[in-house]
Amino acid sequence: MLNVSKKLVEAYASQTVKTLRHQASISNRETGEVQIIAAGINLIVEDIGIDGNPIGKFPIGSIRFDLVGDVTHRFSVNGLYDVVITDIYEFDDGENESVVGKRYQITSIEFDKGSKTTTFEGYDIANKLNVEYINIDIEYPTTFKSFVKSFYEFHGIDADLSNLFMSDFLIESKPAYDSGTSALQVARDIGKFALSVQFVNSMNVIKFVRASEITNADSIHNFDGSVKAFQQSGDNFMSLGINTLVLGLITDIDSENVSHSDDLMVSYDGVVELRLDDIPFIWNDDLKREVINTMFDEIKGFKYKAFTLEDKMFMYEIGDTISQSGLAEDNSNSRLVVLGNTTTKQGSIITKYSADSQTVEETENKWSKLSEKRRTEILVNKLDGRIKAIAEKTSIIDELGEKLQEQSGIISLTDSNLQIEIADRIKQGEDLISQTSTLIDQTTESIRLEITKMEENVDGLNEEMSQVKTYFEFSEALTIGKVDSPYKLILGSESMKFMNNNQVQTEISRQQLFTTKVTIRESLNVGNHIIEKSPFDSNRTLWRGVKT
């Protein structure tokens, strides 16, 4: 929290601050020279860059301010400068109080001829991480705390590690980052694994705020004026920009608010999820499963709610924990942590804790036992916004409803007509069978099946069906045989084949008989000759010569 007096807080809340002015201390990093700018400072904007979100992101503070006139003769556009802004408050009684901000590194100095002002832009020390990551010189295995300490020291950044979660976790070997990975990405992974919000405080030191402390730290009550400044704006991580964290908290999976569980993931009612994906500190599934219980015990169903800030009297900085009166679901105070702030009062993001304490096993079991009804409710809640949007167009919905009812009647009527038409066709098929049964009485069942098939093929030719009288014509051969029997007769246009297990045993084609074995019980006629068994001796054959 900013180091301000109670008097300043009360004066700011009652709007009795007489004047507020700024002072810029710009120092040359090469020479050590310090120049104090006490007048002519226009619009000062301190903000958090696009990476300034909670767990799994690393906030980079930025500053922009204008000095009246062209001061490039005093500050080289290619020089190396730091700046610290001091806010000086003067009260009605003549006393004043100074609030010193954090240090920024100037990255751009540019004079604008149109406005006749010189614009300074810069970032806090977190911007030092916007470089390619180089493996730090450290012996492995080493603890997570030692790795983090060496990492920030290598980049010239002080870090307070007294509150580092998972500090004793042993990293067995050098984390395998791809070439081209930025040091900022490594810092993000540190925040994910530490389940902490990282930020640069007013003392230019990296601070860790653990998720458990965000939810359980002693409340710092803010003054009445800023209590009214918070307005709830969301109930999911999309408003915080972290809906796809790795090793962090997740609410949305593929844009659907329904989570699931596996060996590397735990979730609760599709709302809170702790996922262990690929992060170089934990390089295999066994290690992931080993630490998931420890990490889940740290958050125990931790949830975020987003708040925006509208009041201009906001006096806190990133990382402060405060108590917001009467905005919890049971009208009690809510513990919040400040995750964003701009001195231009364009909005800040706050989080709120509201969750049940669950073990990993309880959470997994609870999710697996969720009824289909509950899962449906989750999906319905996800679509609630879309339903409300449709509800605004009531007249259109009513009109569509009437059309849908009419269409249903058509469908029902069509279905009825279809059943009648089928019944007529069956009846016609039955009539056709009775007309031809006398000719093919022995094969009535088989023919009946073929007629059914023919009906499908010649649909719409009912009148021509009555012309079938003395024969059937097949485009291919006719197969005759009992179902599941190996013996079949195939009658084709050029041959007749007797089959056994799909093998030709006997074939008659072009007035010739082809077979592998012939057994003759009485006699054989060959042309005009008769060869037959002797009536006197069964082992003898008689040749009777020319048959007359």
Neighbours of 82 (CB within 10 A): 17
Q: Is the pLDDT of residue 352 over 50?
A: no
pLDDT band of 501, cuts 50, 70, 90: confident
- Tell me which of 119-128, 145-154, 358-367, 535-544 is least confident: 358-367
Residue 153 phi, psi (nearest 5): -65, -40
**pLDDT score of 390:** 63
Please give the pLDDT value at position 283.
Answer: 72
* pLDDT, greater one: 241 or 341: 341
Decide if pLDDT at 137 tops 70. yes
Q: Indicate the average pLDDT of the chain.
A: 65
Taking only the tens place, the pLDDT of each residue in 471-497 is 455 556 788 887 778 888 888 878 888
Q: How confident is residue 101, by pLDDT bands cut at 50, 70 and 90?
A: confident
Residue 258: per-residue pLDDT: 33
Residue entry with tokens 């036992």: 369
Nearest to 15 by CA among 94, 87, 88, 89: 89
Mean pLDDT score, 405-412: 44
Q: Are 131 and 72 within 8 A, CB to CB?
A: no
Helices and strands (H, E) in the chain, number of each type:
12, 28
Nearest to 158 by CA among 145, 149, 147: 149
C-alpha to C-alpha distance for 232 and 306, rounded to whole angstroms: 6
Query: Using one digit for the tens of pLDDT, what is the confidence trace for 252-271?
Result: 333 333 334 444 444 444 34
Nearest 10 degrees: CA dihedral of 467, 469, 474, 479?
150
Give the pLDDT score at 510. Answer: 80
The predicted pLDDT at position 140 comes to 92
Q: What does the alpha-carbon distance between residue 314 and residue 305 come to, in Å, rounded to a whole number?
A: 19
Distances 16 to 7, 225, 313, 395 between C-alpha atoms, Å: 10, 13, 12, 54
pLDDT above 70 as % of the chain: 48
Q: How many residues appear in the chain?
A: 548
Give the per-residue pLDDT at 99: 78
- What does the pLDDT look like over 366-406, one tens digit per residue? 444 444 555 566 556 656 655 665 666 566 656 656 555 54
Pairing of strands 158-159, 142-143: unpaired
What is the distance between the alpha carbons of residues 96 and 94, in angstroms, rounded to a whole number? 7
- Going from the C-alpha of 216 to that of each of 55, 209, 299, 350, 406, the distances in angstroms are 17, 11, 10, 15, 59
Q: Are strands 205-210 and 158-159 parallel, antiparallel or unpaired?
A: parallel
Give the Cα separation of 66 and 274 in Å (integer).
44
pLDDT, average across residues 506-518: 82
Q: Which of the two residues, 410 and 125, has the higher pLDDT score? A: 125
Among the residue ranges 15-29, 208-222, 264-278, 350-364, the one predicted with the least confidence is 350-364
Give the pLDDT band (50/70/90) at residue 512.
confident
Q: How many CA atoms lie within 13 A of 2 on its CB side?
A: 21
Which residues lie across from 321 on neighbouring strands? 337
Burial of 299 (0-12, 13-18, 19+ CB in 10 A): buried
Determine the 3-state secondary structure of 449 from DSSP. helix
Q: Does this model's pTM top 0.85?
A: no
Residues 409-420 have a mean pLDDT of 40
**258 within 8 A of 382, measured Cβ to Cβ:** yes
Average pLDDT over residues 308-327: 47
CB 360 within 8 A of CB 367: no
- 9 vs 103: which has the higher pLDDT: 103
- Top pLDDT among 376 and 197 is at 197
Kindly calculate the radius of gyration of the chain based on its CA atoms and give it in whole angstroms: 44
The tens digit of pLDDT for each residue in 438-477 reads 334 444 444 444 444 444 444 444 554 444 444 455 556 7
Band of pLDDT at residue 150, cut at 50, 70 and 90: very high
Six token digits for residue 209: 């705020």
Hey, where are the domains in the chain? 4-124, 238-303, 429-471, 478-545
Alpha helices in 206-247 (DSSP H): 211-216, 224-227
